[in-house]
Amino acid sequence: MAYRNPLLLITRKQIKNQQSLNVVISSALPQVEPGSNLYIQITADYTQLSILIDELVSVYDTARHYSEENKNISTYVLFGSNYLNLFNYCDWTIALYQSSDALSRFINKPGIPIKLLQESNTDLSEFKPDAHPMDNLTGSKDEYHTVAVGGTFDHLHDGHKILLTASIFLASTILIIGVTGPKLLVNKKYAEYMESYDQRASIVGRFVKLIDFNQRTDFYQINDVCGPTGHINEIDALVVSFETASGGDYVNNLRKEEGLKQLKIIAVCVIGGKDSEQFKEKLSSTYLRKLEAEKQQ
């Protein structure tokens, strides 16, 4: 039986064991109704960005590996108390789990069933993941008062979701999101299949509301990257992907010329090591527009 917008509960221990992660995600995906979403909730809070990104990438990459393209299923990875936002933003129908540990801090919505997936043969009771140099979820949280991030955000894909999640995680008070407007997109490949600026800005806004479980009032601001931007003098950090890290240096050079303070440049890895070359192209808006063009032909 397939369910619309199910919520899959997983633990950090399952993420650390790739075999276990493979089993739980491959068991959940066939139970997702085509055309709907799979929400994956990591039942942990994070204070270190490096740990969060490593584990987000692992989950997104694994889900993408097992997804069947013809099902048209989108994956969203949540953590901490993010799933509480599903009560307001998503008509989810069931919670799935494979490890009873994942239920220890889960507060279910009244009337929503909870289903045990096919049990894994992987014994995690004695599993001790390799130590991460910063594998400690205690201590002060990585954050900056005002954080900026920019991109086209066309056909929102896993790379965008990881980049935006990192930005939301780091911004304590204000998040400025620059969405590329029409002026800078005239030479993009398959531009005729690009979502409009309003579509892209709206989708980004909904994603921020989903991830920002604190539901902070006036937390984020979305602008055309060529348009006026408020709080420009207050920005503390700029989040970029590793592939566009040089753009951070360019921005700081321009700010220096204008007499503005230098920004902390935070480069985020949006794809993992396993099958990274295979998935690199698929983490491209151009690739997704190409697929759209091929469907139309």
CATH code of the domain in which 216 resides? 3.40.50.620
Contact between 8 and 25 under an 8 Å Cβ cutoff? The reply is: yes
In a shared domain, residues 65 and 149: no
Which residue segment(s) compose the domain that 209 sits in?
144-268
Q: Which residues pair with 116 in a beta bridge?
A: 97
In a shared domain, residues 159 and 261: yes
In a shared domain, residues 185 and 71: no
Residues 6+ apart with CB under 8 A from 141: 46, 47
**CA 254 vs CA 107, 141, 192, 236: distances in Å:** 48, 30, 32, 15
Mean pLDDT, the chain, rounded, equals: 83
- pTM across the whole model: 0.86
Round to whole Å and give the CA distance between 47 and 57. Answer: 17
**156 three-state secondary structure:** coil
Is 31 inside any structural domain? yes
Tally of domains in the chain = 2
In a shared domain, residues 71 and 149: no
pLDDT, residue 87, reads 84
In a shared domain, residues 196 and 106: no
In a shared domain, residues 107 and 150: no
In a shared domain, residues 149 and 105: no
**pLDDT tens readout for residues 160-219:** 999 999 999 999 999 999 998 876 566 666 556 688 899 999 999 999 999 997 788 889
The interaxial angle of helices 158-170 and 197-211, nearest 10 deg, is: 50
The rounded radius of gyration (Å) of the Cα atoms in the chain is 19
In a shared domain, residues 168 and 238: yes
Residue pointed to by tokens 């069933």: 113
Is 168 inside any structural domain? yes
pLDDT, residue 124, reads 46
In a shared domain, residues 101 and 162: no
In a shared domain, residues 105 and 183: no
Q: How confident is the model at residue 126 (pLDDT cuts 50, 70, 90)?
A: very low
- CATH assignment at residue 112: 3.40.50
pLDDT, average across residues 279-288? 53
Whether residue 155 is predicted with pLDDT greater than 80 in this model: the reply is yes
Is 188 inside any structural domain? yes
pLDDT, residue 191, reads 58
Is 133 inside any structural domain? no
